[in-house]
Amino acid sequence: MFAIEKGVEIPKAKAFRQAKYPYQSMEVGDSFFVPSDEKGTPIARMRSSSAAYSKRTGNVKFVVRIVDGGVRVWRTV
């Protein structure tokens, strides 16, 4: 059984973690570069991340392309 307790304060919510990629700061035509690591170019990871952000916000679109040394992400809408 679980004990029922009264008067236990609810802890404050933790702040959201710092965003890894600058999607929220981008305007149409802006881009950012992600260098490839020892595992290679992170194209699949960037496409997935960009699509997830776009789906969450519903009003932005991105294009992801392989460029020399990594991947570049452009905001198009």
Report the distance separating Cα 69 and Cα 24, nearest Å: 24
pLDDT digits 0-9 by tens, 8-37: 999 887 776 778 899 999 999 999 999 987
Report the distance separating Cα 57 and Cα 18, nearest Å: 17
What's the start-to-end Cα distance of the chain, in Å?
54
Numbers of helices and strands, H then E, in the chain: 1, 3
Token output for 57: 């916000």
Q: Could you tell me the pTM of the whole model?
A: 0.74
Who contacts 22 (Cβ-Cβ below 8 Å, separation ≥6)?
32
Which 8-state DSSP code applies to residue 34? E
Q: Where are the domains of the chain?
A: 23-75
pLDDT digits 0-9 by tens, 62-71: 999 999 989 9
